[in-house]
Amino acid sequence: MEVINAHASATLALQGGHIMSWQPKSETEPVVWLSRAANFTPGKSIRGGVPVCWPWFGTHATDPKRPTHGFARTVPWEVTATRALDNGATEIALTLVETDQTRTMWPHRTKLSITITVGPRLKIALATDNLGNEDAVIGEALHAYFHIGDIADIRIGGLEGCDYLDKVGGGNVHRRQDGPVVFSAETDRIYSNTDAECVIEDPRLKRRIHVAKSGSYSTVVWNPWTEKANKMGDFGPDGWRGMVCVESANAAENVVTIRKGSRHTLAVEYWTEKYSG
Ligand code: TA6
């Protein structure tokens, strides 16, 4: 599904309620990155865009055979509303279509919906309604891939002093962020207890990308670097150099308990500004 308006263009897939690309008119390069070698296989994650990780993040807590990052990103969603807003932006609402298979993996009566606003900013609100008569605990993320000039040149501000789980090499080593995040090797970190806005400073593309959020207390930063990207096989030649994930999440110690009968929303806003570096 293509969305083109006075402010921006975007492509969405019904599979996973997945935003695959977004480019404001003010930019000559996409802001949300999509791999040139992305596979569009039903049931498989799409390499790039903003995958919806839900109702768990990473490996399932008790059953490692269940899909990594939950099932929401690999099942069909349906459009429930579209709206042209007064400011010229476009709003699209989608909801996950439950099946016997999803109910087997997730036996809670919840409804998952996403509202996407394509404009000079990209706004995404992921809402979980707990319709059951017991509390439900979820892990989740808007696993956003951002397009950058080169991973070795960028810095990410906003996480200074935050504690994080270093997942590289399958470890779970606790560390603390000293200064901006910079990259010189595979990087896979879950920053905990932070609702801070992050800013990706990109001197090569001469822009800053702002990643603001609410209802999210973890931020995941990921770049696979050479070896892991080659193993994954869907980054294309050196594709990993042109992307970084800054994921607004509730993961690890920040999983969310949604009281029965209530709603929890994880929302993000992405925008850019010129930056001379
Ligand atoms: O968010 C980082 C991460 O958990 C990495 O460890 C890597 O697995 C990445 O997500 C992509 O996972 P995927 O299942 O989309 O290949």
Question: pLDDT per position in the chain (277 positions), as tens?
Answer: 999 999 999 999 999 999 999 999 999 999 999 999 999 888 788 999 999 999 999 999 999 999 999 999 999 999 999 999 999 999 999 999 999 999 999 999 999 999 999 999 999 999 999 999 999 999 999 999 999 999 999 999 999 999 999 999 887 899 999 999 999 999 999 999 999 999 999 999 999 999 999 999 999 999 999 999 999 999 998 999 999 999 999 999 999 999 999 999 999 999 999 988 7
By CB atoms closer than 10 A (0-12, 13-18, 19+), residue 119 is buried
Å from CA of 258 to ligand 1 middle: 25
Helix, strand or coil for residue 274? strand
Ligand 1 pocket check for 22: Cβ under 6 Å: no
Which tokens in the block code for residue 64?
């490692």
CATH number where 8 lies:
2.70.98.10
Q: Give yes or no: 269 in active site.
A: no
Q: Are 272 and 28 in contact (CB under 8 A)?
A: no
Q: Are 50 and 143 in contact (CB under 8 A)?
A: yes
Name the residue of 20, 68, 142 whose CB sits within 8 Å of the most ligand 1 atoms, as the mutation to test its pocket.
Answer: 68
Give exposure, 241-259, as e/b (b: 16+ Cβ within 10 Å).
bbbbbbbbbbbbebbbebe
Three-state DSSP string of 158-224: CCCCCEEEECHHHCCEEEECCCCECCCCCEEEEEECCCCCEEEEECCCCEEEEEEEECCCEEEEEEC
How far is the C-alpha of 138 from the C-alpha of 105, rounded, in Å?
A: 13
Q: Give yes or no: 91 in active site.
A: no
Q: Are 206 and 274 in contact (CB under 8 A)?
A: yes
Which one of the listed residues 18, 60, 69, 143 is annotated catalytic?
143
> Which residue do the tokens 């789980």 mark?
165
In angstroms, the first-to-last Cα distance of the chain is 35
Q: From the alpha carbon of 247, which atom of ligand 1 is closest?
A: 1
* CA-CA-CA-CA dihedral for 211, 215, 218, 219, to nearest 10: -10
How far is the C-alpha of 203 from the C-alpha of 153, rounded, in Å?
A: 7
Q: Are 142 and 50 in contact (CB under 8 A)?
A: yes
What is the domain count for the chain? 1
- Give the residue numbers spanning the domain of 84: 2-274
pTM across the whole model: 0.97
